[in-house]
Chains A and B, each alone.
Chain A
């Protein structure tokens, strides 16, 4: 049984069936990229994992534990929250909290959770306070990881899009999710800013971190992923290793899609990155991997 097991997920909006039975598995430490044209159901699938959208049918398991089962019906809020926490999500639009500084953006949810769980476990106020102190240290370490420790007291409105997205990544890591999801993390960024974000995502790759990335950055998907899913019209059209998907596409739809994105030069246009720069990103990522100081999540 795979670490993340997705079985037969269906979702309709009104008459339109957006997900028509999605199943796949992902091992711990693997990176999965989901590619495909707009309207193919990529984002819906990702939001289903995080249960921002509740699928009509299907089962999702993490580490053999059921985190979603449509046959259970509507869950209580606390149940739903617990299960959601298996997944982290980085949004296309960052969605940082504008009224809080960078540090508070990271610690707010973690602190609330820490208090709630501490109380439920009957811990003393002292113990809880100590744990909250540790969260500060964790927040700092994560900001170092995304290279923004000098922005710890800045407000989101004072940061560039790329910096905001890096803060959002750190914020998602604060809660140590089993699986970290990215919903087109660079689509809202200016071309010159996508590189820094992709670099950070690439550097997160480790044997402990499992990631699902919806992306239009084909070069990035090829370099970073262990597995690639090509979605079209609500089904998984093709699934395989990056080499299989990008170098040896089987279905006409995928061939068509890859041709189109190449002809348009989407990769280069969107990221302003060329192959040489990518090679450097990959190298940086590998160096990070050698570093044993990777923060586990």
Chain B
């Protein structure tokens, strides 16, 4: 199997990895914010529920969660359950939303109370204070930890193979199994490196953009 053929095959798997990556972000970024507000709620029961949820999701392996969401419905309710890829997406979105929520919460709680009070005495509404005063400051503070988490997500997409979704890692393993050549499994490292490299540049760019002010 030529280098080109292998590359084309791997690119097909990489497409699935990218799909999981972007759909996870699309779902988990907003869901994480909702969970963050839940864990900061003034209502104790909401706070307890969301914090327990975050504890469970962060306290168990993502691989286990994928397996549970894929096989669980069939075993418990004897239904067909979700397809392989949808199950993976649901597991990823829930898992990453839990992690993001903690980053958001840390960011929001790090903003001094005085910023809210200044907005209040200037007659701003709660919504205006959040969007015009607090949000950008939160974003600036959470960019580094978010960068970390998002780069981890790139590599975590390989966990999808546990339910036989042909993402990049499985695509390589399939070639290795079929053609009895080992090098494609090392070759995929370059794909991950290239992509995380691009993300690193992107995050550095955003950090620099927000560097125009201190605090």
Q: Does A50 contact B (CB under 8 A)?
A: yes
Q: A155-B214, A171-B122 are in contact. Are A95 and B132 (CB under 8 A)?
A: no
Pick the contact of A52 from B121, B132, B133, B140 — CB < 8 Å? B121
Chain B residues within 8 Å of A98, by CB: 137, 213-215
A155 to B213, CA, bound (A): 7
A87 to B125, CA, bound (A): 16
Q: Does B206 contact A (CB under 8 A)?
A: no
Inter-subunit contact A95/B125 (CB<8 Å) = no
Q: Does A84 contact B (CB under 8 A)?
A: yes
Q: Does A66 contact B (CB under 8 A)?
A: no
Q: Does A157 contact B (CB under 8 A)?
A: yes
Chain A nearest CB: distance from B110 CB in Å?
13
A175 to B117, CA, bound (A): 15
The closest CB in chain B to the CB of A174 belongs to B122
Stretch at the interface among A108-116, A227-235, A279-287: A108-116
The closest CB in chain A to the CB of B117 belongs to A52
Inter-subunit contact B126/A77 (CB<8 Å) = yes
Q: Does A273 contact B (CB under 8 A)?
A: no
Chain A residues within 8 Å of B132, by CB: 108, 112
Chain A residues within 8 Å of B213, by CB: 98-99, 155-157
Kindly state the interface size class of chain A when it binds its partner.
Answer: 20 to 34
A109 to B117, CA, bound (A): 13
Q: What is the interface of chain B mostly: helix, strand, loop, or mixed?
A: helix
Pick the contact of B136 from A77, A99, A156 — CB < 8 Å? A99
Inter-subunit contact A175/B122 (CB<8 Å) = yes
Inter-subunit contact A50/B121 (CB<8 Å) = yes
Within 8 A of B (CB), among A75-126: 77-78, 81-82, 84-85, 87-89, 91, 93, 95-99, 108-109, 112-113
Inter-subunit contact A84/B117 (CB<8 Å) = no
A175 to B122, CA, bound (A): 7
Inter-subunit contact A88/B112 (CB<8 Å) = no
| A50, A99, A113, most chain B CB atoms within 10 A | A99
Inter-subunit contact B124/A112 (CB<8 Å) = yes
Chain A residues within 8 Å of B115, by CB: 95, 97
| B118, B132, B137, most chain A CB atoms within 10 A | B118
A58 to B29, CA, bound (A): 46
A40 to B163, CA, bound (A): 66
Inter-subunit contact A77/B125 (CB<8 Å) = yes
Q: Does B177 contact A (CB under 8 A)?
A: no
The closest CB in chain A to the CB of B128 belongs to A112
A88 to B125, CA, bound (A): 16
The closest CB in chain A to the CB of B210 belongs to A99
A156 to B112, CA, bound (A): 15
What does the 1/0 interface line of A52-67 toward B look like (CB < 8 Å)? 1000000000000000
A76 to B212, CA, bound (A): 37
A96 to B137, CA, bound (A): 12
| A84, A88, A95, most chain B CB atoms within 10 A | A95
Chain B nearest CB: distance from A81 CB in Å?
5
The closest CB in chain B to the CB of A47 belongs to B117
Q: Does B61 contact A (CB under 8 A)?
A: no
Chain A residues within 8 Å of B59, by CB: none
Chain A nearest CB: distance from B131 CB in Å?
11
A87 to B114, CA, bound (A): 17
| B115, B121, B126, B132, most chain A CB atoms within 10 A | B121
What does the 1/0 interface line of B132-160 toward A look like (CB < 8 Å)? 11001100100000000000000000000
Q: Does B119 contact A (CB under 8 A)?
A: yes
Chain B residues within 8 Å of A109, by CB: 119, 122-124
Inter-subunit contact A84/B215 (CB<8 Å) = no
Q: Does B120 contact A (CB under 8 A)?
A: yes
Pick the contact of A81 from B112, B125, B136 — CB < 8 Å? B125
Inter-subunit contact B128/A156 (CB<8 Å) = no
What does the 1/0 interface line of A1-23 toward B look like (CB < 8 Å)? 00000000000000000000000
Q: Which residues of B contact A (CB under 8 A)?
A: 112, 114-115, 117-126, 128, 132-133, 136-137, 140, 212-215
New A-B pairs, 20, CB < 8 Å, besides A78-B125, A84-B121, A109-B122: A52-B121, A81-B123, A81-B124, A85-B123, A88-B121, A89-B117, A91-B117, A93-B112, A95-B118, A99-B215, A108-B132, A109-B119, A112-B128, A112-B132, A155-B214, A156-B213, A156-B215, A171-B122, A172-B122, A175-B123
For the complex of A and B, 3 pairs with smallest distance between CB atoms:
A157-B214, A98-B215, A109-B122
13 contacts between A and B (CB under 8 A): A52-B117, A52-B120, A52-B121, A93-B114, A95-B118, A97-B133, A99-B140, A109-B122, A112-B128, A112-B132, A156-B215, A171-B122, A172-B122
